[in-house]
Amino acid sequence: MSERERKLAQSEAGQVHFQWSFLHPRYWLLWLFLILLRLLVYLPLPAMHFIGRGIGRLFYRVNEKRRQITRINIGLCFPELTEEQKEQLVLRHFEAYGANVFDLAISWWASSSRLDRLTKVHGIERYLDLIDQGRNVVLLTGHILTVDLCGQYISRYQAGVSMMKPLKNPLLNWMMYRGRMRNGNVMVNRQQGMRPMVRYLRKGYTGYFMPDEDFGSPASVFAPFFGQQSWTVTSLSMLARLGNAVVLPIFMHSLPGGKGYELYIDPALENFPSGDDLTDTTTMNMALEKGIRRMPEMYAWTFKLFKTRPEGEKALY
């Protein structure tokens, strides 16, 4: 990325460089946590995840609100499970959530060679073949806990462009932005819409897109997701159409016990975009559901996934 492009990307993302105000005492506790996290990255992954799972179990006990949201989501999406199995999945999710603190740290600081040693990849030839053909590509994923690590890994092949909502804490915002910009990646402020994403996609950057959160956007339709009617954004169709791009689903999972990671690149979405929003969002949600079911504890069940309801239905949360 040229210096001009980098400055433009920084402007679009609404991010800031390091500021001396970050050294104010109000940030000292966060700095202490970040320094500790930086040091712990040198531990073997099983040791890091052992610590992280303990953090997750503590979070499970003390955060009743997120625990209840997770129970509602898992109850809706996995009705075939017994109550005991559902609660086990809730707990496994919180353990994965805690371990993900270290997955995020690896995405920020670990070397590419270490990530190579830890990661087994399935279907990479699908992506590389499209790059060799000069095709524009959008990688479709959901809010999997390892979404940052996945983006970091795949960007070694071609720099990517993604969207990010700026965080309220400016120091953490800077750290997140800095980590996601590794390997020449570009981050676009979500509030600026799809136009910057399309522009970078046309320039040859790989799109990295997560359209599975219920923002309450009017540019959405109700489409099935885990057997539920989910208020689903239609923006992936527009991005693929305007960027003349092939859409590949991609998912990265963290294996139990800190045994490493598995990354899956599934076949491209067929007849996408079709020109029909409901058809496209259904196709997209089916691809997301397939990837999530491989290791369901890795999905962001603490989100209010079904916040917007069809007319006449009561609120779930």
CA 263-268-271 angle, to 5 degrees, is 160
pLDDT score, position 218: 87
Burial (CB count <10 Å: 0-12, 13-18, 19+), residue 72: middle
pLDDT score, position 3: 58
Kindly state the tokens that stand for 39. Answer: 């040091």
pLDDT score, position 261: 97
pTM, 2 dp: 0.92
Kindly state the tokens that stand for 254. Answer: 């963290």
Which residues are within 8 A (CB) of 20 and not within 5 positions of it... i.e. 6 or more apart? Answer: none
- Cβ 201 vs Cβ 243: under 8 Å: yes
Domain residue spans of the chain: 3-298
What would the DSSP string read from start to end of 210-239?
Answer: ---S----SSEEEEEETTEEEEEE-HHHHH
User: For residues 188 and 16, what is the distance between their CA atoms, to the nearest angstrom?
Assistant: 13
Nearest to 171 by CA among 38, 9, 24, 11: 24
What dihedral angle (degrees, nearest 10) is formed by the CA atoms of 100, 15, 167, 108?
A: 10
Phi, psi of 15 (to 5 degrees): -95, 170
- Cβ 138 vs Cβ 245: under 8 Å: yes
Q: Tens place of pLDDT for every residue, the chain, 317 residues?
A: 555 655 555 555 545 678 899 999 999 999 999 999 999 999 999 999 999 999 999 999 999 999 999 999 999 999 999 999 999 999 999 999 999 999 999 999 999 999 999 999 999 999 999 999 999 999 999 999 999 999 999 999 999 999 988 889 999 999 998 999 888 899 988 888 889 999 999 999 999 999 998 887 888 999 999 999 999 999 999 999 999 999 999 999 999 899 999 999 999 999 999 999 999 999 999 999 999 999 999 999 999 999 999 998 999 99
What would the DSSP string read from start to end of 76-106?
Answer: HH-TTS-HHHHHHHHHHHHHHHHHHHHHHHH
